[in-house]
Amino acid sequence: MTDEQLLEQLQGANPAALEAVIYRYHEPVFRYIARLVRHSHLAEDLTQECFTRVCVAVRDRRLPNKLRPWIYRIATNLCKDQWKKASYRSEVSVDDRQLLDAPDDNTITSILARQWDREEVIRVLMLLDEDSRSIVILRYYEDLKLQEIAEIMELPLNTTKWKLYQALKRMAHKLEDGEVASDG
Amino acid sequence: MDERLNSMLKELQQDPAAEAPGTYEPWTSEEQQRLAVLLPRYTVASPTRQMTAALIDRVLPLLDDASEAEKELFDRQVAAVNQKDRVPEERPTAGYWRVFIPQLQLLSVWFWIGSILAIGISILGMEPFAALALPLHTNPVVLTAPLLSLGAVAYACRSYGTPMYELELSFPLSPAQWVMGRVAAILACYIMLFSVASLVLTWDDPAQILPFTASWLVPLCLYSAATVVLLMRWGTMGATVVMLLLWLGQTLLRERLGPFFWLGDLSSPHFVSGKTTGSLLTLLAVIYLVYRLRGSRMDAPRLPTGGGVS
């Protein structure tokens, strides 16, 4: 069933359609939020809040034209609200390590190397402004189309493209600086 | 080359934004390579299907009755926050096995083969040792148990105080779970193996099984607990050296230590007092460990420098 078909079903507040939406989007939305806030418990809470808002909107018949950008926009706005809270910055560093994937059968050396790489990517992503960070995560990690990202971020398509280009360039340079520093 | 990144960059280059505030510089192969290697490293855990089902259970009632369902959801959120740190209560054994089994797997097969061999040799040495009729008031099993336990604890916790320990703490274990899980795994296996040895050695005289078990169990627990305590203060190498010297001193001085001779067998005149002081010291060491580990439940302890042997 396509998103459009699901959206039609949601017009009638069909619980099965809403269940299907949650099954389809819970994992990507959680991953998206987790990458933005870097805190698993907070990501769980924000994901639940996101789907609560979706559900209330379905109940009140306040539905958008497109499902996916709408859900991600709610998630993005929740993260932005979270960033504004003073308590957020003191929380993130504690839980970041828990977002690691379970260790696999690789050697400790390779796990350590990947963890350093991961920390480096996070460090560089955090240097970006909030919009650019969201755009990179939506485009690269969530594989959304630029048009959808523009709708989510409520930005013109050209601005979204430019921000993505600038963000990737900046990341590449910062990652190079990091490599040079570690080599030196 | 990362296909997704490749298509992203192509898309940006082939169809650049009109009226861009700057120029689109082409991507160098180094930049592409760097992004292709590092971007996929930012992995995050995904929610389980159970989490998705639980979310559906919490959210779907909102469709039916606004006020009641919203109130119920709020109540559940409050309860969930209160319960967050008590999830293991639902299945008390699940958390224990989650910590215990990986600790066993981290110890190599050779460690277990060596342990079984040492215990086997100590059992086989009992009869020749008794035949010598030396007035040592100890026996190979009682001597092997603490020596093996201190060696095993030192081996299992050899990363403590080293960068490897910091890495191990990046797995979802608290320092308390890390130490207690590993030591508990070793103790449980050794107690099982030595219990089998006790059963074999006292097969003809079952009344002796309890005193014989006490003769090796007390030093086994005491040396394990003391090794962990010292390890936290002086690092792995310091703890191992001190405990080896203690074991050597006990073996050489024996009865001259009076109630502080913990390695005595049933023939020792200080058997009861020795095992009692040993038990009390073990208890003290365990209390100290619990106190110390409770204090470091959330944060990695600042570790002693040096002493690591990994």
Q: What would the mean pLDDT of B11-22 be, rounded to a whole number?
A: 66
Chain A positions touching B47 (Cβ under 8 A) are 26-27, 30, 44, 47
Output the pLDDT for position B28: 81
Indicate if B278 and B138 belong to the same structural domain.
Answer: yes
Output the pLDDT for position B174: 64
8 Å CB contact between B1 and B36: yes
DSSP conformation letters of B269-291: TTHHHHHHHHHHHHHHHHHHHHH
Q: What would the mean pLDDT of B212-224 be, rounded to a whole number?
A: 93
Residue A13 sits at the chain B interface (C-beta within 8 Å):
yes
Query: How many CB atoms sit inside 10 A of residue B98's CB?
Result: 15
User: Given the structure tokens 């073996």, which residue do they identify?
Assistant: B251
Q: Do A101 and B47 touch (CB under 8 A)?
A: no
- Read off the CATH number of the domain in which A19 is found: 1.10.1740.10
User: CA–CA separation, B146 vs B154, rounded Å?
Assistant: 12
Q: Do B42 and A44 touch (CB under 8 A)?
A: no
Q: Is the pLDDT of residue B97 over 80?
A: no
CB pairs under 8 A between A and B: 144
Q: Which amino acid is at B140?
A: P
Instruction: Tell whether B15 is covered by a domain.
Output: no
Output the pLDDT for position B145: 92
Output the pLDDT for position A70: 92
Q: Is the pLDDT of residue B179 over 80?
A: no
Output the pLDDT for position A28: 93
Indicate if A81 and A150 belong to the same structural domain.
Answer: no
User: CA–CA separation, A127 vs A115, rounded Å?
Assistant: 19
Degrees, nearest 5: CA angle B38-B166-B245: 150
Indicate if A147 and A116 belong to the same structural domain.
Answer: yes
Indicate if A106 and A93 belong to the same structural domain.
Answer: no
- Of the candidates A51, A108, A172, the beta carbon closest to that of B55 is on A51
- Nearest partner of B259 among B226, B281, B284, judged by Cα: B281
Start-to-end CA span in chain A (Å): 54
Longest Cα–Cα distance in chain A: 62
Indicate if B59 and B205 belong to the same structural domain.
Answer: no
Indicate if A63 and A149 belong to the same structural domain.
Answer: no
Q: Is the pLDDT of residue B243 over 90?
A: yes
Q: Which amino acid is at B42?
A: Y
Indicate if A2 and A52 belong to the same structural domain.
Answer: yes
Chain A positions touching B30 (Cβ under 8 A) are 176
Indicate if A77 and A13 belong to the same structural domain.
Answer: yes
For residue B64, name the pLDDT band (cuts at 50, 70, 90): confident
Query: How many CB atoms sit inside 10 A of residue B83's CB?
Result: 12
Cβ-in-10-Å burial (0-12, 13-18, 19+) of B209 comes to middle
Coarse DSSP helix, strand, coil percentages of chain A, rounded to the nearest 5 percent: 80, 0, 20
Q: Do A22 and B55 touch (CB under 8 A)?
A: yes
Indicate if A87 and A106 belong to the same structural domain.
Answer: no
Q: Of A99, A123, A143, which closes a domain? A: A99
Is the model more confident about B229 or about B107? B229
ipTM over 0.85: no
Q: Do B34 and A122 touch (CB under 8 A)?
A: no
For residue B164, name the pLDDT band (cuts at 50, 70, 90): low
Output the pLDDT for position B78: 55
- Nearest partner of B264 among B243, B282, B250, B245, judged by Cα: B250
Query: How many CB atoms sit inside 10 A of residue B50's CB?
Result: 8
Domain that holds residue B136: 98-295
Instruction: Tell whether B159 is covered by a domain.
Output: yes
- Residues in A 38-67 with any Cβ partner in B closer than 8 A: 40-41, 44-45, 47-48, 51-52, 54-56, 58-59
Distances, alpha carbon B241 to alpha carbons A177, B149, B236, in Å:
45, 14, 9
pLDDT tens per residue, range B267-288: 888 889 999 999 999 999 999 8
Q: Do A158 and B62 touch (CB under 8 A)?
A: no
- Report CA dihedral (B57, B48, B164, B109) to the nearest 10 degrees: 120
Output the pLDDT for position B109: 81
DSSP conformation letters of A48-98: HHHHHHHHHHHHTT---S-HHHHHHHHHHHHHHHHHHSHHHHHHHHHHGGG
- Digit-by-digit pLDDT tens for chain A (184 residues) are 788 888 888 888 888 888 889 989 999 999 999 999 888 888 898 999 999 999 888 888 888 888 899 999 999 999 988 887 755 555 554 444 444 444 444 556 666 666 777 888 888 888 888 899 999 999 999 989 999 999 999 888 888 888 998 899 888 888 877 655 555 4
Indicate if B72 and B140 belong to the same structural domain.
Answer: no
Indicate if A73 and A158 belong to the same structural domain.
Answer: no
Number of domains in chain A: 2
Indicate if B64 and B161 belong to the same structural domain.
Answer: no
Q: Which of B3, B24, B56, B85 to mutate to probe the A interface, most A CBs <10 Å?
A: B56
Q: What would the mean pLDDT of B179-193 be, rounded to a whole number?
A: 85
Number of domains in chain B: 2
Indicate if B212 and B267 belong to the same structural domain.
Answer: yes
Q: Is the pLDDT of residue B222 over 90?
A: yes
Output the pLDDT for position B217: 93
Output the pLDDT for position B275: 92
Indicate if B55 and B107 belong to the same structural domain.
Answer: no
Instruction: Tell whether B17 is covered by a domain.
Output: no
- Nearest partner of A150 among B23, B17, B182, B179, judged by Cα: B17
Indicate if B221 and B252 belong to the same structural domain.
Answer: yes
Indicate if A94 and A114 belong to the same structural domain.
Answer: no
Q: Is the pLDDT of residue B249 over 60?
A: yes
- Nearest partner of B297 among B151, B156, B173, judged by Cα: B173
Q: Is the pLDDT of residue B75 over 70?
A: no
Instruction: Tell whether B190 is covered by a domain.
Output: yes
Out of A68-77, B65-74, B129-138, least confident range = B65-74
Residue A113 sits at the chain B interface (C-beta within 8 Å):
no
Query: How many CB atoms sit inside 10 A of residue B124's CB?
Result: 11
Indicate if A31 and A116 belong to the same structural domain.
Answer: no
Instruction: Tell whether B29 is covered by a domain.
Output: no
For residue B127, name the pLDDT band (cuts at 50, 70, 90): confident
Q: Do A26 and B55 touch (CB under 8 A)?
A: yes
Q: Do A140 and B8 touch (CB under 8 A)?
A: yes
Instruction: Tell whether B74 is covered by a domain.
Output: yes
Q: Of A99, A122, A149, which closes a domain? A: A99
Whole-number average pLDDT of chain B: 78
Out of A149-163, B105-119, B213-227, least confident range = B105-119
Q: Is the pLDDT of residue B21 over 60?
A: yes
Instruction: Tell whether B44 is covered by a domain.
Output: no
Tell me how far the alpha carbon of residue A100 is from its chain's centroid: 16
Indicate if B133 and B203 belong to the same structural domain.
Answer: yes
- Read off the CATH number of the domain in which A145 is found: 1.10.10.10
Q: Do B9 and A56 touch (CB under 8 A)?
A: no
Q: Which of A9, A19, A48, A115 to mutate to probe the B interface, most B CBs <10 Å?
A: A48
Indicate if B198 and B160 belong to the same structural domain.
Answer: yes
Indicate if B201 and B68 belong to the same structural domain.
Answer: no
8 Å CB contact between B218 and B276: no
Domain that holds residue A123: 101-184
User: Given the structure tokens 């460090």, which residue do they identify?
Assistant: A123
Indicate if A73 and A28 belong to the same structural domain.
Answer: yes
Q: What would the mean pLDDT of B86-109 be, rounded to a whole number?
A: 60
Q: Do A175 and B18 touch (CB under 8 A)?
A: no
Q: Do A100 and B43 touch (CB under 8 A)?
A: yes
Cβ-in-10-Å burial (0-12, 13-18, 19+) of A172 comes to buried
Out of A121-130, B58-67, B224-233, least confident range = B58-67
Indicate if B225 and B157 belong to the same structural domain.
Answer: yes
Tell me how far the alpha carbon of residue B147 is from its chain's centroid: 19
Is the model more confident about B57 or about B66? B57
Instruction: Tell whether B9 is covered by a domain.
Output: no
Indicate if A17 and A58 belong to the same structural domain.
Answer: yes
Is the model more confident about B166 or about B102? B102
Indicate if B138 and B223 belong to the same structural domain.
Answer: yes
- Nearest partner of A33 among A18, A13, A17, A53, judged by Cα: A53
Q: Of A70, A99, A128, which closes a domain? A: A99
For residue B13, name the pLDDT band (cuts at 50, 70, 90): confident
